[in-house]
Amino acid sequence: MTSPIRTERDGNVLVIVSDNPPVNALGQAVRAGLADAIAKGLADPDIEAMVIRCDGQTFFAGADITEFGKPPQGPSLPQVLDRIEASDKPVVAAIHGTALGGGCELALACHYRLAVPKAKLGLPEVKLGLIPGAGGTQRLPRLVGAKAALPLVVLGNPISARDALDIGLLDLLTGDSSLEAEAIAFARSKAGQPVPRTSQGTANQDGVRDPAIFDEFRVTQGRAMRGLDAPNAAIAAVRAAAELPFAEGVKKERELFVGLMTGTQSKAMRHYFFAERAAQKIADLPADTPLLPIRAVGVIGAGTMGGGIAMNFLSAGIPVILLEMQQEALDRGTAVMRRNYEASAKRGRMTMAQVDAAMDLLTPTLDYADLADCDLVIEAVYENMDVKKQVFARLDEVTKPGAILASNTSYLSIDEIATATQRPGHVLGLHFFSPANVMKLLEVVRGAQTRGDVLATAMKLARTIGKVAAVSGVCAGFIGNRMLSKRQEQANKLIMEGASYWDVDDVLLEFGFPMGPFQMGDLAGLDIGWHRDPAKVTTVREALCAAGRFGQKAGKGFYDYDSARQRTPSDEVRAIIADFAAKAGHTQREVGKDEIRERLLYPMVNEGAKILDEKIAQRASDIDVVWINGYGWPIYTGGPMFWASTIGLETIVAGLDRHGLPVSDYLRKCAAEGRTFD
Ligand code: 3H9
């Protein structure tokens, strides 16, 4: 087998090149090749300096994640990096693309680091439930200081080459196309000089002088770290870099790394990493399916949803024609969009010039004829089949042949909507989640007649606008809301049987969701869809509306809210629920948190199993992708289907049976066979 590492000579400089597509992951063959190449450079008396660079789209994007959990094969990454750093001939990292995880650690072990301006550097291991395990937590603070290292190691977000230069992680930015030549010249200029070794750097002393920075960071980043093990371990590792000599700090890092690697959180998060990528692949669609050009997008409806959807495209530089029925609604919608952009600018997420550039791409209109040249039109109007059909019939008339027509419906049949057109092959669902400009998930709903190129184009487009897409077949509520309805059904039943609604919310919060169903109702507004007749009360929700308890915006809903929007359970609501339960003939009883958790979550797994069995989802991991990105399911449990397999499908079946809840044949069969879903 040929090695992915080759060497090229440029006078007295040895250029070590990795060619390991797609992302130059540091698998065993790469590590062995690097170790050999360094040894070769050291042994050759004519070589005075070395450059490490990569072919293809990126510098090393990290350790090879597919090797995790398998028996380790030497040389290990820490060993290779120690050999690089120990070289007394200067070694220069020449970075393009993304130097991530082990790739960034490799760069840290080199004596100098150069990068093209578009490069990104980072230690994203926490996103895999890990911390850097090849000396990164010890070398980085010694190079850039503990304060600058903390966000990189603990939050895992990559930074631009320019920011990396500013904090001292890079030595030099090169021209876009002269990286290799400049790296060689740089290496040559350092030949014969003593090499700076990052492990001997002293910038970490800021953490010694001001040890409070670690606790302060933990407090300010508490929300981002909630429920996760890795970020706390990452803080401990960076702190060790301030407090311990290098060799002992590395030992501490390894201890923490190994502990995380063998834990369930990292297993779940690695599952998610591959799940997100698998979700992009459509089993019966060749990877080279031709894509349709999307140069202009139409959006119907300038309400919260339509406006949010439009912003995704504007932000990606794609012109949008936004259609409304009334001028006033159109003006209101566009004003809200501008306000949202300006709020992002205030938070430093974009510049005012970018706000203007995005808004300049928007054409508001009241005239369907203006949609004639759109390549894609997304409808975000009222959830009513007759209304949707009218809109689609109209769109079919006004748009050019071959334009894709999409519905943002969250429940309705795409197949039925498609019957209103002469182009059912060009109709599909694009289900965005609210707020549509923020939430990551895009459920792409494939109708019975949706064409392959239309589907492939939608999947590609999702990436262009920064969404994580998952494909769903047609059924009421698709993957996400179909499972949500089972949870909501149980939540409503539980409070009738005597569970307190705050316990229901708290169980989900404790599980790791950002909020529970009753908090969610309060946030969204309990009066959404309310008939507005206080005399007509048939549900708890209607009773709350009749009592003026519309949710957070009214200062009261299920909960009472103070001026800081802190919630307290309400006696009035407690009485309303008890009254309803009595009328419905329920004797209320104490319901423990275990029962609540099982009854909320197990029926979701059962519904997920049915969704798989009916082939509405292509694979179990797609369901995990939907729930993690669309509904706040905690990523560190891997999503509902992965979580179910970690606690055991037989446990789920036994729980459902115990609570007298339905169990699908498919779930029972999987459990009986002792297997997992995938
Ligand atoms: C680490 O380094 C631990 C060390 O500290 C300690 C060690 C001792 N390994 O994302 P894409 C595959 S932990 C194996 O679609 P993009 C990916 O599955 C690692 N495979 O491309 C996909 O395969 P397929 C820290 C990997 O252009 C294909 O490459 N590093 C790895 O949108 C293309 O990926 C990270 O966490 C890997 N490390 O984005 C970085 N990376 O085609 C993880 C990717 O079969 N990677 N693959 O589906 C990324 O963030 C993105 O892949 C990257 C490219 C930004 C690089």
Q: What is the mean pLDDT of the chain?
A: 97
Q: Which pLDDT does position 475 carry in this prediction?
A: 97
List Cβ<8 Å contacts ≥24 apart for 328-332.
329/302, 329/303, 330/302, 330/364, 330/365, 330/366, 331/364, 332/302
Q: Which pLDDT does position 69 carry in this prediction?
A: 86
Domain 5-262 architecture: Alpha-Beta Complex (3.90)
| 238, two tokens | 């960076």
Return the DSSP state at 154. I
Q: Which pLDDT does position 341 carry in this prediction?
A: 97
Span 517-561, pLDDT tens digits: 999 999 989 998 899 999 999 999 999 999 999 999 999 999 999
Q: How far is the CA of 593 from the centre of ligand 1 (A)?
A: 39
Mean pLDDT, rounded, for 647-676: 97
For 475-604, list the strands marked E by DSSP: 559-561, 567-569
Q: Which residue's alpha carbon is nearest to atom 24 within ligand 1?
A: 277
Mean pLDDT, rounded, for 651-671: 98
Let me know if domain 593-672 sits in CATH 1.10.1040.10: yes
CB distance 133 to ligand 1 below 6 Å: yes
Atom of ligand 1 nearest to the CA of 65: 9
CB distance 58 to ligand 1 below 6 Å: yes
CB distance 140 to ligand 1 below 6 Å: no
Q: Which residue's alpha carbon is nearest to atom 53 within ligand 1?
A: 61
Cα–Cα dist 77/100, whole Å: 14
Q: How far is the CA of 163 from the centre of ligand 1 (A)?
A: 22
Cα–Cα dist 448/425, whole Å: 8
Q: How far is the CA of 25 from the centre of ligand 1 (A)?
A: 7
Atom of ligand 1 nearest to the CA of 123: 25
Cα–Cα dist 229/236, whole Å: 11
| 418, two tokens | 């498609």
Helix ranges (H only) for 3-160 are: 28-43, 77-86, 102-109, 136-144, 146-150
Does pLDDT of 285 surpass 90? yes
Q: Which residue's alpha carbon is nearest to atom 22 within ligand 1?
A: 277
CB 49 within 8 A of CB 9: no
Mean pLDDT, rounded, for 635-658: 97
Domain 297-478 architecture: 3-Layer(aba) Sandwich (3.40)
Q: How far is the CA of 29 from the centre of ligand 1 (A)?
A: 16
Helix ranges (H only) for 128-245 are: 136-144, 146-150, 161-167, 179-190, 205-209, 212-220, 222-225, 230-243
List Cβ<8 Å contacts ≥24 apart for 668-675.
670/609, 674/650, 675/649
Mean pLDDT, rounded, for 323-328: 97
Span 630-640, pLDDT tens digits: 999 999 999 99
What are the residue boundaries of the structural domains of the chain, listed by start? 5-262, 297-478, 500-583, 593-672
Q: Which residues are catalytic?
A: 105, 125
Question: Please, what CATH class does the domain formed by 500-583 belong to?
Answer: mainly alpha
Cα–Cα dist 400/185, whole Å: 56
Q: How far is the CA of 201 from the centre of ligand 1 (A)?
A: 29
Q: Which residue's alpha carbon is nearest to atom 50 within ligand 1?
A: 61
| 419, two tokens | 């019957």
Three-class DSSP category at 460: helix
Taking the CA atoms of the chain, what radius of gyration do you get in angstroms?
A: 28
| 583, two tokens | 């009328």
Cis peptide bond N-terminal to 117, omega within 30: no
Q: What is the best residue among 23, 105, 138, 261 to mutate for testing ligand 1's pocket, by most ligand atoms within 8 Å of CB?
A: 23
Bridge partners, residue 429, by sequence: 407, 445
CB 303 within 8 A of CB 333: yes
Distances 139 to 107, 150, 236, 243, 247 between C-alpha atoms, Å: 10, 12, 14, 13, 11
Q: How far is the CA of 224 from the centre of ligand 1 (A)?
A: 22
Mean pLDDT, rounded, for 35-49: 98
Q: What is the best residue among 18, 26, 65, 281 to mutate for testing ligand 1's pocket, by most ligand atoms within 8 Å of CB?
A: 65
Does pLDDT of 678 surpass 80? no
Cα–Cα dist 574/373, whole Å: 55
- Establish whether domains 500-583 and 593-672 are of one fold: yes
Q: Which pLDDT does position 528 carry in this prediction?
A: 86
CB distance 79 to ligand 1 below 6 Å: no
Give me the residue label for tokens 């120690």.
Answer: 82
Atom of ligand 1 nearest to the CA of 120: 55
Does pLDDT of 311 surpass 80? yes
pLDDT band at 207 (very low <50, low <70, confident <90, very high): confident
Mean pLDDT, rounded, for 202-211: 92
Span 366-413, pLDDT tens digits: 999 999 999 999 999 989 999 999 999 999 999 999 999 999 999 999
Q: Which of 380, 416, 240, 239 is nearest to 307 (CA)?
A: 380
Which amino acid, one-letter code, is at 231? P
